Chain A
Amino acid sequence: MIYEDPLVPSTMQELQDMMAAHAGKFLLAAGGTDLFVKRRGGIGRGVILIDLSGIGDLRGISVRASDNCLEIGAMETMTSVSENPLVIRHARCLAEAASKVGSWQIRNRATIGGNTANASPAADTPSALASLGAEVILVSRGSERRIPAEDISKATGSSEIAPNEIISAFRIPLRENSVSAFGKIGLRSEVSIARLNLAVSAQVSDVMASQITNPRVFAGTLGIPARRCAIAEDVLVQNGFGACGEFCRALAELVDEAIPGRSTQAFKRSAIQALGEDVSSALLSRLKGAVM
């Protein structure tokens, strides 16, 4: 066996043909940032690298008026997601999550599709995508299906994605008067695997946020990439963003439910309250901008 040449498809059709022809023998390279880390020994003989970077259809960030959504191509990098004005406007927490991924060097390569496909429990963007109610578009030869980002991130190891499927894009519904925020705690203030992250999105009725609808609260790194916190959402509906103490207590309960008995439980139930405070205060300060 020899070291195989990499394959460089430029269209989705070519990609799907290659995946079919080399089923079981290929690895997909999106940004590559996790690829060589996961395989420290390198990519061995007989394995074919399929490079996704040449496929234009996997790129692009645009508002699709017909579907009332923001569509983000799977190969968009963390840098482009975090700096894109449309993402900042319609999916602020995702822009923030992308800006907190690794270092500048890593953000320049790591892709939003790769972050979801790898489904690491410590990934930064899954909780943001889940809180925004994003849909993941999965493409395989001759078919396409959409599943909620929330469902993909319910388990580690991307078990929701079939071997012949590829994430092509994410669709984030545009909701009126919506506001969102993301927070992360790592061991360093920059470039750190998340010990904990939190993403919240909601719709508000007015500047005072007297009514909050459709809140979606997701925490990352509690065993799975994104874990929903229904109690915290109830607190937001009932009391708004001002009831920070109750909101934080609800988040602490989520930690106790999610990782009972783990050595990190005590730390995380405290730290998530710091995130709760930070995210609440970011949301409050953003209300003005959110309400037209």
Chain B
Amino acid sequence: MDVHFTLNGENMSAAADSSTRLIDMLREGCGIKSVREGCGVGECGACTVLMNGDPICSCVTPAVQARGCDVTTVEGLETDGELDAIQESFVTNDAIQCGFCTPGMILTAKALLARNPSPSREEIRRSIAGNICRCTGYIPIINAIEAAAARTREENTAPL
């Protein structure tokens, strides 16, 4: 069947059968390569996408369940080639080494800051508990999320 959904703000339609996972549909049907399989069992978070704003593991989500949903991948965070504050913050805070976990990690962080603009370090740790990183020890990632939150708060409170 054809699954109709919104991908990074645009209407999309892609084929899915009973065996198709959301990650398969995104990678093979929609050409989205930033969504990657690190474990295939929902344990590493490399395949994280936002579905209606919520982070989910696309490797354990049936593709058919995306119908009518708003799916966001890291490609959808840029506006006119300008990176989102969280992406910038990951770059400037050394939160990226091999980069394999990065898109999923950034999306989880994006969802966190949308709900909680001032998370504590403990809240950040808990929110990214499902995103495994073997390179960074998480510390620069937590720094990056904290810094992005601070920057976003500053921008929002700055006088016009």
In A21-41, the 8 Å CB interface with B consists of: 27, 29, 31-37, 40
**B125 nearest CB across to chain A (Å):** 8
Counting chain A CB atoms within 10 Å of each CB, the highest count among B51, B111, B126 belongs to: B126
In A96-117, the 8 Å CB interface with B consists of: 102-106, 108-109
Chain A interface main SS type: loop
Counting chain B CB atoms within 10 Å of each CB, the highest count among A3, A42, A49, A188 belongs to: A49
Contact of A104 with B65 at beta-carbon distance under 8 Å, contacts A37-B41, A190-B129 already known: no
Tell me if A270 is interfacial: C-beta within 8 Å of chain B: no
B54 touches A35 (CB 8 A): no
**A6 nearest CB across to chain B (Å):** 4
Which residue from B1, B55, B131 sits with its C-beta under 8 Å from A6? B1
For A106, the chain B residues whose CB sits under 8 A away are: 42, 57, 60, 130
A35 touches B62 (CB 8 A): yes
Q: Number of B residues contacting the other chain (C-beta, 8 Å)?
A: 32
Which residue from B19, B40, B48, B59 sits with its C-beta under 8 Å from A43? B19
Counting chain B CB atoms within 10 Å of each CB, the highest count among A35, A43, A105, A188 belongs to: A105
B42 touches A6 (CB 8 A): no
**B19 nearest CB across to chain A (Å):** 4
A29 touches B19 (CB 8 A): no
**A48 nearest CB across to chain B (Å):** 6
B64 touches A105 (CB 8 A): no
Give the top 9 A-B pairs by smallest Cβ distance, nearest first.
Answer: A103-B130, A49-B18, A190-B129, A3-B17, A43-B19, A6-B64, A108-B54, A5-B1, A105-B57
Offer 17 A-B interface pairs, CB within 8 angstroms, sorted by A: A5-B1, A27-B18, A31-B61, A32-B61, A33-B57, A42-B19, A49-B19, A51-B62, A51-B64, A102-B42, A102-B130, A103-B57, A104-B55, A105-B42, A105-B45, A105-B55, A105-B56
